[in-house]
Chain A
Amino acid sequence: MPPRLNLLGAGRSLAARSRPSIASQQPRISLAVSRRGYADENEPPATNDNQSGLGHVSEEAADMGKVTGETQPDLGKGTPVQDILRRDQEGKDKAPEVIRAEIDSTEANASDRTTFANLLALAQMENIARGGHGSDPVTVGHKYGIPELPLASNMHLKRRYDPVVNQVTNLIMKHGKKSVAQRNMSFILNQLRTAPPPTPNPARPLLPGSPPPAHLPLDPIGYLTIAIDSVAPLLRIRSQRGAAGGGAALQIPVPLGLQQRRRTAVQWILDAASKKKSRGSGKGQFAQRFADEIISVVEGKSGVWDRRQLVHKTGTSALHKQCPFQKYSHNPGHPHPHTQKNAIFYFMGST
Chain B
Amino acid sequence: MKKVAWLPASLRGGLQCAQYSQTTASSNFPRRTVFTLPKKQFSTSSSLQESIAAAPIRFTNNNAKEGEEEEDPVFNARLVPNSASYFTAQPIFTDDLLSLQNLLQRYANLPVLKPGEAPRVAWLSLADYRNIVGETVKAAKYSKIVEILHRLNHIHPSLMPREVKDVLNEYKRDVNPYQNTAKPGLVNTDGHALGAGRRKSSTARAWVVDGTGEVLVNGKTLIEAFGRIHDRESVIWALKATNRVDKYNVWARVSGGGTTGQAEALTLAVGKALLAHEPALKPALRRAGCMTRDPKRVERKKPGHVKARKMPAWVKR
A residues with a Cβ closer than 8 A to B are 36-41, 44-45, 139-144, 146-147, 149-151, 155-158, 160, 179, 182
Contacts and interface: CB of A to CB of B under 8 A. Distances in A.
Given A147-B242, A182-B230, 18 more contacts: A37-B111, A37-B112, A39-B113, A39-B159, A142-B279, A142-B281, A143-B278, A144-B243, A144-B244, A146-B284, A147-B281, A149-B283, A151-B284, A151-B287, A155-B287, A157-B237, A179-B230, A182-B228
Contacts of B40: none
Given A39-B156, A141-B280, A142-B278, A155 B288 contact: yes
Contacts of B242: 147
A351 B297 CA distance: 48
Nearest to A43: B158
Contacts of B280: 140-142, 146
A147 B247 contact: no
**A contact face: mostly helix, strand, loop, or mixed:** loop
A147 B157 CA distance: 36
Nearest to A159: B289
Nearest to B109: A36
Interface of B: 111-114, 117, 156-159, 228, 230, 233-234, 237, 240-244, 247, 264, 267, 277-281, 283-284, 287-290
A179 B112 CA distance: 52
B247 A144 contact: yes
Contacts of A147: 241-243, 281, 284
26 contacts: A39-B156, A39-B158, A40-B114, A40-B117, A41-B158, A44-B158, A141-B278, A141-B281, A142-B278, A142-B280, A144-B243, A144-B278, A146-B280, A146-B284, A147-B243, A151-B287, A151-B288, A156-B287, A156-B289, A157-B264, A157-B288, A157-B289, A157-B290, A160-B233, A179-B230, A182-B230
B281 A146 contact: yes
Contacts of B156: 39
Contact of B158 (A36, A45, A150): A45
A182 B228 CA distance: 10
Contacts of A160: 233
A158 B289 CA distance: 7
